Amino acid sequence: MNVPTGATGPTGATGATGETGANGITPTVEVGTTTTVDSPAAAEVTQRGSATGVIFDFTIPRGPTGATGATGATGDDGTNGANGVTPTIRAGTTTTLDPSENANVTRNPTSTDTDVIFDFAIPRGPAGPSGLDGINFTFDSSTSSTQDFYDLHPIGVPGETWLVEGHLFTWDADTNSWKDMGSIIGPAGPAGTNGIDGLTPEIGDNGNWYIGTTDTGIKAQGPQGKAATIEIGTVTTLGQGSKATVTNSGDEYEAVLDFGIPGNALVYRGNLSTPGSTPIEVPLGNGLIYRVRYGAADHVSLYFVPSNGPTYIDYKVVSHYDVTSHDSVQYSNRLISSSLAIDTTIFNNAREMHKTWIRVQDSDTSLWSMYEVNLFSSAGGARVTIWVNTIEEEISY
């Protein structure tokens, strides 16, 4: 059965207000990446993150280059920089390379800006041909003239050659005599041409040395040196007649000055009263020993002993004994090679006063030193005193 729909009824009354809903979540918005792209790409903004943490990434095309701006005003002068440090430049190692290698110069790794060290590597040249056999050659420093040379070396051997006063002398076997081969000094050669002027080093604005336009990287001013000090070191008494000496046993910054000051005579003492007594030995120049030993019950004996090889001496001996007796002996330019008896009887018991003047030549330098040596023996040789005065040292005649 069909029931017909009735007419619409009137609007009902408004219902009651519903309950307040919960608070919504406030989202965050951040800028992510910004990427510059070339024109004509289009600008773009992309979103990433979440509904409550939004991140925008921007892609922006760069604009065209703008016109050049006007020149700005000139700035004020800067303050002067500190003075540079003057460096030292020195050679380090030098290495010899094979002839096939190239020469090179490197900076030593231990160098600093103020202490520059260059190491050199240089190839050796190729081996040359073998030379001829040489001759026996001697430089003569013991003679002051050609005549002295002839006197000291009257006979030679074939091939023997000496240099005397700038001339070569060789022994001629055919004539059995010395042949003067002439002066070893040739005539002066012509003057050479002037070299090209080199570049003058200059200090650049950065304080480095420049050679031309090249910056050497080396500072022009070195570090400030430390203040020097001077102290007194040792003071030594030298023999009478010696030269005063001053030596520095420190360094250039902390000097220690040691002084040697001439004093009185050097004195030597001993007991030579019995056989086997230890001799008294007095060292003189060039290793010459003034030796006094037991001679007999009533006397001692004097010898010269050349401990440093053959030695030239001049000497004079004077003695006064037994009130009125005198004795004297002398010799000039005598070469001694072994112990030489000078006076084998010098009386004991205060009977004799013995004095020797002796001049000794240094075999290395040919210089002469002179001494006065006094001897007095008493009490049967039990009290022997020797005193030495140095008259001069290392003199050239």
**Per-residue model confidence as pLDDT tens digits over 214-273:** 998 898 887 777 778 888 888 776 765 567 788 899 888 888 889 887 766 789 999 999
Please state, in angstroms and rounded to a whole number, the distance separating the CA atoms of residues 40 and 279. 117
Please state, in angstroms and rounded to a whole number, the distance separating the CA atoms of residues 72 and 77. 15
Please determine, for residue 104, whether its predicted confidence score (pLDDT) is greater than 90: no
Please determine, for residue 85, whether its predicted confidence score (pLDDT) is greater than 70: yes
Domain that holds residue 255: 229-262
Structural domain ending residue among the three candidates 211, 242, 262: 262
Q: Decide which of 242 and 180 is more confident.
A: 180
Contact yes or no for 282/289 (Cβ under 8 A): yes
- Which range of 56-60, 137-141, 290-294 scores highest in mean pLDDT? It is 290-294
Residues 276, 387, single domain; the answer is yes
Contact yes or no for 330/315 (Cβ under 8 A): yes
**CB burial of residue 91 (10 Å; 0-12, 13-18, 19+):** exposed
What pLDDT is attached to residue 73?
81
Please state, in angstroms and rounded to a whole number, the distance separating the CA atoms of residues 120 and 96. 9
Residues 330, 376, single domain; the answer is yes
Beta-bridged to residue 354, according to DSSP, are 319, 375
Residue 331 is assigned to a structural domain of this protein: yes
Residue 189 is assigned to a structural domain of this protein: no
Residues 349, 304, single domain; the answer is yes
Q: Over range 367-375, report the average pLDDT.
A: 95
Please determine, for residue 3, whether its predicted confidence score (pLDDT) is greater than 70: no
- Which range of 33-47, 199-213, 254-268, 329-343 scores highest in mean pLDDT? It is 329-343
Q: Decide which of 69 and 255 is more confident.
A: 255
- For the chain, the domain total comes to 4
Contact yes or no for 361/333 (Cβ under 8 A): no
Please state, in angstroms and rounded to a whole number, the distance separating the CA atoms of residues 59 and 55. 13
Please state, in angstroms and rounded to a whole number, the distance separating the CA atoms of residues 389 and 239. 7
Contact yes or no for 101/128 (Cβ under 8 A): no
Residues 332, 350, single domain; the answer is yes
Residues 162, 235, single domain; the answer is no
Determine which of 66-75, 176-185, 202-211 has the lowest per-residue pLDDT on average.
Answer: 66-75
Residues 148, 258, single domain; the answer is no
pLDDT tens-place string over residues 142-160: 556 788 888 888 888 887 8
Residues 301, 390, single domain; the answer is yes
Structural domain ending residue among the three candidates 262, 280, 311: 262
Q: Which letter does DSSP use for residue 223 in this model? A: P
Contact yes or no for 282/373 (Cβ under 8 A): yes
